[in-house]
Amino acid sequence: MFATASAVLTALALAAPSPASAHASLQLYGESATPGGYGVLFVRIPHGCTGGLPTDTVELTIPAGFTSVRPQQVAGWNATRQMTGTTVTSVVWSGGSLPDTQFADFGVSVRYPAQPGTYGMKVVQRCGSSSATWDGADIPKVSVAPTIVTYPADMVAAAHEGKAHLVVDAAATMTGKKPQLTVSVDGKTVLKMRVSLDERGDASTTVPLTGRTVHGKKYEILDGAVFTLQNDGVVLAKFVLGEASVASTSGGHSGH
């Protein structure tokens, strides 16, 4: 799914004075937080409060943009949601007892924000009248980022003199194949054509930037147009006109 962007778990210093060396963090356990996607993140509380007091309350602040917030039912704890109108602003687990010598994870199911970025989630850990707050520079964070998709071929295109000059680098096993190239503008397909791969699985061709569709409608291919190469329904490569090519995002072959 973009090197998958796994959760960024930040080692954090305890905001309130404490002899403990471990810090609260956010865990995704190998999952990735993608824009607009659904997932479960876990708040890890690694110890009690100052003086070895057991934790009895954990509060997680929910940043703006996170929706569909549902706390995990943790045995021995009561989970509640704090609301402002219809928006969940925090989740609280209370009534339990986490010894200073143990740790626990408190899960919350969410829909991540549509906007990529790094989001801080303030955590307050209470032990009776004592508490520790993880915020400011030490706030636990989660990175929401698109997934990098890898394809079995490389493809680049550059606009010049009214044409998009297209280069495809596929595997030698694709020799003689004629995959279909589809060009989409604003989500609408404007052009389809076949691309002939040579004895090395490569191709070099041009695509007119203006013309008419098979239905006779005028089209213009601008920056942002999506070039998709498919063979027998399998996507071999994708490229967005005007964007730089990044070798690590595709599975193209440098030699044959």
Same domain, yes or no: 93 and 160: no
In a domain, 11, yes or no: no
Write the DSSP string, 66-110: -EEEEE---TT-EEEEEEETTEEEEEEEEEEEE-TT--EEEEEEE
Structurally, the chain folds into a number of domains equal to 2
In a domain, 256, yes or no: no
Same domain, yes or no: 43 and 112: yes
Residue labelled with tokens 């995959």? 179
Q: How confident is residue 3, by pLDDT bands cut at 50, 70 and 90?
A: very low
Q: What's 183's domain CATH number?
A: 2.60.40.10
Q: How confident is residue 14, by pLDDT bands cut at 50, 70 and 90?
A: very low
Write out pLDDT tens, residues 170-228: 998 999 999 999 999 888 899 999 999 999 999 999 999 999 877 888 989 988 899 99
Residue 17 pLDDT > 60: no
Residue 100 contacts residue 64 (beta carbons within 8 Å): no
- Domain span at residue 30? 25-144
Write out pLDDT tens, residues 146-165: 887 788 999 999 998 999 99
Q: What's 49's domain CATH number?
A: 2.60.40.2230
Same domain, yes or no: 102 and 159: no
Picking from 94, 126, 144, the residue at the C-terminal end of a domain is 144
Same domain, yes or no: 140 and 163: no
Q: How far apart are CA 152 and CA 222, in angstroms?
A: 26
| Residue 252 main-chain phi, psi, to 5 deg | -65, 170
Q: How confident is residue 77, by pLDDT bands cut at 50, 70 and 90?
A: very high
Same domain, yes or no: 91 and 39: yes
Residue 13 pLDDT > 70: no
pTM assigned to the model: 0.57
pLDDT for res 65: 96
Write out pLDDT tens, residues 26-63: 999 988 899 999 999 999 999 988 889 999 999 999 99
